[in-house]
Structure formats: C-alpha cells, structure tokens
Structure 1
C-alpha cells in the first residue's frame, strides 16, 4: 500500500506538467486510475478478506458482504481494461503515431469514467444476489444466484474481463515488439523516439505479463468451478484462497515495476523527494 500511495504522489503532479510527451500525458490518467484501484483494493477488500479467513462464519454484516464481493469484481474488471487502454495507446504511438495526436487527455479521462461505469455494470448481478443468511445459528455471506446461472456468469465474466483483454494486449505487444525490435522501427520514428518507445514498452509489457501470470490461477479456479461446487472440500477452498491472495499480491508489484524500470517514475520520484525536503 505505501508503494501505491507513493506512486500516486509521483504520477498526479505529472498530469499537469506541460513538458511531458503527448503519450505520457495520455497514459498518465490511466496509470493514476490503476493506482487508485490498487489502493482501494488494499484499503477495503484485503482487510475484509483476511478478517473473513479468521472465522468460519461471516461476522462483518450485510453491507460489507455485498460491497466486498461486488467491489472486488469491479476492481478486477477496471484494472484489466485500464491496462488494455494503455496497451492500445502504446500500439497507436508505435504503429500509427500521428493518430495519437487526435487523442486528448480529456478523452482519456472520460475513458476512465467509462471503465468504472462498465465495471459497475458487470458487477450488478453480485450487488443484487449477495446477501447474508442464517444457518444453524451461524451467519454466512452467500451468492443466491441459481447455481447454473452463477457458473455461466463467472465464465462469461472471465471471458470478458480476462480472456478478451489479454488476447488484445498480446496482439498489441506482438505488433509493437515486431516493429521496434525486428523491423528496427518505422521510418517516421527517430533514433531517440525509438529508444524512448522501446523503454516504455518494456515497462508496460512487464506490467501486463506480471498481471496476467499472477491472475491466471485465479481465473483457472473460476473456469473450473462447476455449478458452485468448487469450495465444497478443504483443498478446493484452500486453492481458492491461495489464488485470490496471489492475484491480490499482484497489486504490490505494480509500484515496484514502475520505480525499478520506468525512467519517468524515477524522475518523478526524485522531484517528489526534492519537494518534500527528503534525501535518498
């Protein structure tokens, strides 16, 4: 969580910086969006998840039951589509660089709003069907959607929130890598812009690959779920919790990647340190 807060403190001032490149000004709001999503996950969902693991029954009330499960899905969806938007912008900057000039920072801001709205739309079934129930004197947080519908819903969601954006990102970065490294860049790219694009592409690609690898086990569990029977045994329950922890741990990795590989984030960190009077 401290890493995500620090990343926000570095990224937000850069949004107003006039000297930044056009592509940096476009990807900046999306990176801030991702950092905000990560912070929300850490501040709310992770504490609730650990609190729930301490007890056999649900002790956090109806409101937390509904918001925890629904927000988790919304954050996952918005994270993937924010990364997808970054990938598409980098694809345009490398393959069709003149087209990015027609894209404004305001348009990207509206794209972030659209991503949040779309993620909420896909989570509506969870807002409707999650509730608390009493069984044998214990309270449980359950999804009361019919089992076959629940299985179909999560598989459809996995396709829309994970598989589709992952395939598009693979296509984008395959084209980018072929252009920047195999063809040595298009004629319209100068040597300096080619180097900048390569460095930025490495950062984005590492972020996407790490994100996908750490989320694949979680979605495999979702796809293997059959009519809500996945968590009926101890090993399956453990597998579900471990894959969820691995997926959530990915949100700790993003700031590390940015500060380790991104020259823009490193420069922003140095400026932040100078502004606050700290020393490294």
Structure 2
C-alpha cells in the first residue's frame, strides 16, 4: 500500500493527541461490543462440542474435525478473556502501567492465537478435501493424529510469534513508560511482510484450492448420482458451512494482512488515513472471532440439534434443583 508523501507532510493529516484519545476510546468501545457478541457464542459452541465428544454416532469426518473446532473455540475464548482486559487497562492510562509480562504476552499471544486459529481452519479444509476427493484415505487418519496436529499447529504458530516474544519490551521516554517493539524498523517491516507473504497467503490459497475442488467434485457426483442423495446432502451442507467460514475469514482478515504486507509499520501511526485504515482492518479481523459460532449454529442442523439438547438438559437440571432450593429456604425461614 503506497503512502502519499504529500499526505504525510500535510499537518491536517497528522495525528493529534486529542484525535488519538477519542479514536482509541471509540475503537475500544467497538471491541467491547464484539466481546459481548462473541463470548456467548463461543462458550455455547465449546460446550456443544465438548458434550458431543462422548457420542458414538456421527460420521468419521465429524469426529475428526470436532477437535479442531474445539481448538478454535478455545483459542477464541482465551483471546477474548485475555486481550480485552489488557486493552482496557492500556486505554485507562496514558502510558503503559501493566508491567513487562503483560507487555510481551499481549502482543505475542495475540499473534500466536490468530495463526493457530487460521491453521486449524486450514487443517479442517484439508480433512474435508480428503473425505470428498480421497475418501479411502480417511481410514488412515486417527483422532490421535488430529490431536498431534493441534500440538504441531501450536508449536509452528509459536515459532511465528518468537520475534515478538524477544523484541517487545518497556521503554521509558521523558518520564513516561511505553510498551513497544524494539526491532529495527526495516527488520520489523520485513518480519510483517514474511508473516503475510509466507505464513498467511500460501495457506489461504491452499484453502481456496481445497474448497474449489470439493465443490466441483460434489456437483459432478450430484449430476452423475454416484453417491446417495442423503450422503451428498450431508457432505454438501458441511462443505457449505466450511466454505462460508473460509469466505468470512478471507473477507474479514485479508484487508488486515494486505495492510500489513504493503504498508510500512513506521508510517501507519503517523497520519490519520493510515491510522484509521490500520485500526479498522484490525477491528474487522477481530470481528471474525464472533462470526464462526454464528455460522455453525445457523448452517448446521447437527449443531442446532445439539444446542437444543444442551438447553433442554440445562432447563431440566434447573427444574430439578428448584424444589430442593425452595425446601431449604422454607426450613431456614422456620428456624
């Protein structure tokens, strides 16, 4: 993303303290809204997935993909519970008062979780590709291998975030404390471009390839009636849900990574247009964490049935606990 030199030198585009103060509060309010929207959905999705681990029925592809979905929902919940409080603490003070540990982990864990989410979605797309294109190979994949794949994803994404763990620290300038990345500007720009060009883009293209092959194959099988109508319908709905998830991921995360790849980091925080572009694309990428549970519950009959079952169980337990609590209250009242 090329920057306009005239815009950089124009005082009307320069960032002021007042603009930063109000804009930061607006963006924090939007993040809190997304937090309130995303937390209940991810909690419900995680509960539904955990309760579903004990069931015997279901297809093999379902049993293999659900640990990856649990991985995604767990990481998103951890991100919500950790990222938002630290962000609020940062906004409450003009400079950084949260200590060295939070300074390092706030940025490093955010990147680690973002890539672990993304690569878990890539693993789901590869599983669905194998189930549709090479179904006989599915017998070679075990739940233990999926668990090992989750651990491998964590380690690879931790490796991606290693420069942040090393270079983030606290710097004091004129009596004020700041949490900053202390990498050289040229090295930081190169690192961010490598993340976008090597860590994100090839995996994204692989996901697009997998789903394009899956859709074309299912359409051919529907025309030729190779599989039964029921199996085709189940595969088609599962693929549509995964495809919508991928499209949402691309639409909401790609602008941020294009911003990272083409913009110089030292220019982002110098002009109003670049600052707003960076903050809005970051907010859009953050909002993607709220979308995944909505997609699952709206497009999957299986998840809808499990959610209704969860509500029935919860309601039944509440009704069972009700009379006993009432009895205890009456006994205490008569004493």
Question: Which TM-score band applies after superposition, normalised by the shorter structure?
Answer: over 0.9
1:161 match: 199
Partner of 1:112: 150
1:128 is aligned to 2:166: yes
Alignment partner, residue 232 of structure 1: 270
Distance 1:116 1:18 in 2: 28
Is 1:98 matched with 2:131?
no
Paired residue secondary structure (1:184): helix
The count of corresponding residues between Structure 1 and Structure 2 is 279
C-alpha distance in structure 2 between counterparts of 1:221 and 1:56, whole Å: 26
Structure 1 residue 247: deviation in Å? Answer: 0.9
TM-score by length of 2: 0.79
- Equivalent position to 1:59, from 64, 79, 97: 97
1:78 touches 1:119 (CA, 8 Å); kept in 2? yes
Q: Residue 45 of structure 1: which of 65, 69, 83 is its match? A: 83
Which residue of the other structure, out of 44, 59, 70, is the alignment partner of 1:32?
70
Measure, in 2, the Cα distance between the counterparts of 1:221 and 1:177: 30
Give matches, 1:192-203, under 5 Å.
192-203=230-241
Task: Describe the shift of the 1:238–1:137 C-alpha distance in structure 2 as closer, same or farther (beyond 3 A).
Answer: farther
Return structure 1 stretches of 4+ with deviation > 3 angstroms. 53-56, 185-188
* Structure 1 residue aligned with 2:258: 220
Could you tell me how far 1:249 is from its partner in structure 2? 1.1
User: Can you give the 5+ residue segments of structure 1 that lack an aligned partner in the other structure?
Assistant: none
Q: 1:82 aligned to 2:120?
A: yes
**2:48/2:303 contact within 8 Å kept:** yes
User: For 1:54 and 1:225, how far apart are their aligned partners in 2?
Assistant: 29
Structure 1 match to 2:34: none
SS of residue paired to 1:92: helix
Q: 1:123-180: per-residue Cα shift (whole Å, max 9, x none)?
A: 1110000001011221111111111111111111112332111100100011011111
Contact 1:179 1:186 in 2 (8 A): no
Distance 1:164 1:50, change over 3 A: farther
Shift of 1:255: 0.8
Question: Using a 3 Å threshold, how does the CA distance of structure 1 residues 154 and 2 change in structure 2: closer, same or farther?
Answer: same
TM-score, normalising length: structure 1: 0.94
Which structure would you say has the larger Rg? 2
Which residue of structure 1 aligns with residue 311 of structure 2?
273
User: Contact 1:130–1:143 at 8 Å: present in 2 too?
Assistant: yes
Distance 1:227 1:200 in 2: 39
